Amino acid sequence: MTLEPGFYDVPAGMVATVVTHLEMRAPAAPRPVPTPEGVSLTRIAAPAPGWYRDLFTRVGGQDWLWFSRLGLDDAGLSSILCDPGVDVWALEKDDRAEGLLELDFREEGACELAFFGVTPALIGSGAGRFMMNAAIETAWARPITRFHVHTCTLDSPGALGFYRRSGFTPIRQQVEIAPDPRLNGNLPREAGPHIPIFEG
């Protein structure tokens, strides 16, 4: 399908976002950062769906409208999180998970940085850079030739720049249209206040 330049209406009840795909073809050098005080990065084996949804929502749901995992039932979510090709890590502070790092190795020779972010409690602490250094080291410890991630205009406006500074290169853009998660009960109506709700 060929689109002409111009404006296109987004249907009522939906949200639209520009998605940027990025990749890394060789390990990037770690960016210097001290380990944030009182923080540890722990791999979580077979995460419980409720635990995961709580962290996922605190990292990206309330502020940035992360929603892709919130529509899955427990069985569907567990089938991903407990897959041997998926690694879930939590950045913990004071015995509470405050950062999410999810690496997906299910594609042979590649790793997807599936989800990455910290809660407001750790923003500005260097925790994101610390966790990214660990993500790059962990991903490239496997026999891969490609490490990739995507971000979108629903994310923090600093996300794209952060990924580029971390060594990822933009390779593709897409427009995604999806049901507004605030209208189907997956997120509260006050989530993602930077994105208006159009109910029609």
Per-residue pLDDT band at 186 (split at 50, 70, 90) = very high
pLDDT at 124: 87
Tokens of 30: 């770690």
Beta strands in 71-179 (DSSP E): 86-93, 96-104, 110-118, 146-152, 169-179
Say yes or no to pLDDT of 194 above 80: yes
- Whole-model pTM: value is 0.94
Pick from 33-42, 84-93, 120-129 the range whose average pLDDT is largest. Answer: 84-93
Is 172's pLDDT higher than 90? yes
Q: Does 58 have pLDDT greater than 90?
A: yes
Residue 145 counted as domain residue = yes
Cβ neighbors of 77 (< 8 A, separation 6 or more) are 49, 52, 53, 69
CA separation for the pair 45, 81 (Å, rounded): 9
What's the whole-number average pLDDT of the chain?
94
Give CA angle at 109 (103, 115), nearest 5°. 15
Q: pLDDT category, 167, cuts 50, 70, 90? A: very high
State how many domains the chain has. 1
Q: Tell me, what CATH number does 134's domain have?
A: 3.40.630.30
- CA neighbor of 64 nearest in space, from 195, 200, 198, 186: 195
Q: Is residue 199 part of a domain?
A: no
Residue 45 located in a structural domain = yes
- Does 167 fall in a domain? yes
What pLDDT is stored for residue 36 in this prediction?
87
The model's pLDDT over 76-90, given as tens digits with 9 standing for 90+, comes to 999 999 999 999 999
Beginning with the edge strand found earlier in the chain, give each strand of the sheet holding 110-118 in spatial order: 39-43, 86-93, 96-104, 110-118, 146-152, 14-24, 169-179
Residue 102 domain boundaries:
14-27+38-179
pLDDT score recorded for residue 165? 97
